[in-house]
Amino acid sequence: MHEETVYDALTAAHGDDARWAFGAGFDDPLAGVDTTVPDRVEPADLGAYCLMLGDDALVLSQRLIEWITRAPELEEEVAFANVALDLLGQARLLLARAGSVGVLGRSRERAGASIPDEDALAYFRDPDEFRCTALVVADGGDFARTLVRLLMASTWRLALFTQLQSSRDPVLAAIAGKGVAELSYHRSHAARWVLRLGDGTAESHRRAQAAVDFLWPLTADLFTPTEVEARLAPAGVAVDPGRLREEVHGVLTDVLTRATLTVPEWPASAPPTGRLGQHDPGRSEELTDLLAGLQGLARRHPGATW
């Protein structure tokens, strides 16, 4: 039997008519990719690491999507949507990688059997099962805070992905290799905006400085390895986040100084909290709200199909 339309082709490709309603649905993003775990690596560690990097991307993507229909100009709305889509794609690949090594936690039993791994992880984990950092969870605030946060988060992530390209896990290395060009573009877009805001009007300067002062303390745990990273980094699979500090501080100091903003003292390194699912009290509440928006419909109708 031959299919007549793209829709028919999409459904026929899966051999049944019912499609999971809320997620990626149609295809496994890692279809055909060799997902063998490299030797001397615990699958649970690899999966946990993929969740950390995937959750950062998923949550930041959702924060950017909150601007859709609300951005001050159409071009910036399109920019946020594009950046969010890139991050969502990175999240999807990373969560699929976590699923491929069996790290699904309780999400699988909550989601049911028919839902793809990455959707089970995105829609059916509770806040304390998310391993994202405080920096991406914090409420987006105003336009200035959104762009200062995007600058900080993309600077950290770009520094990480640049090094992760040589990971001994070929899937992580490939995901990082694709992400580098995307993140370079995000970082330069955010940096140009921070220059414009910091060196703009008195009001835009005031808001940009307030954003910097608010977000700065949230970077305290970004350079502290979790136990998982401490095991995976020497094995050549993960990047020790401590090695990112110099590059990240250098780039941020450069941009903020040129933007005539005051660079605060760097916070002392703090032990990881969000990475362990132990989100700080304020952040925990914000993450719960964010996930309610992201997951509410899918959880209300588990296994719903169209």
The tokens for 151 are 């600058």
Q: Which one of residues 63, 149, 189, 275 is an interface residue with other proteins (CB under 8 A)? A: 189
Q: At what angle do helices 170-198 and 74-100 cross, to 10 degrees?
A: 160
Phi, psi of 19 (to 5 degrees): -115, 135
Does residue number 37 form part of the binding site for other proteins (CB under 8 A)?
no
Question: Measured in whole angstroms, how far is the alpha carbon of residue 208 from the centre of its chain?
Answer: 23
Span near other proteins by CB under 8 A; candidates 141-149, 190-198, 210-218, 265-273: 190-198
Q: Is 33 in the site for other proteins (CB under 8 A)?
A: yes
List 18, 27, 142, 267, residue binding other proteins (CB under 8 A) = 27
Is residue 19 a contact residue for other proteins (CB under 8 A)? no
Q: Does 185 bind other proteins (CB under 8 A)?
A: yes
For residues 115 and 304, give the distance between their C-alpha atoms in angstroms, rounded to a whole number: 10
Tell me if 195 contacts other proteins by CB under 8 A: yes
Nearest-angstrom CA–CA distance, 298 and 303: 8
Give φ, ψ of 305 to 5 degrees. -130, 165
| Contacts for 4 with CB less than 8 Å, ≥ 6 apart | none
Contact pick of 16, 17, 39, 75 for other proteins (by CB under 8 A): 75
Residues that bind other proteins (CB under 8 A): 2-3, 6, 8-10, 12-13, 24-27, 29-33, 75, 78-79, 81-83, 85-90, 92-93, 158-159, 162, 170-171, 173-175, 177-182, 184-185, 187-189, 191-192, 195, 247, 251, 254-255, 258
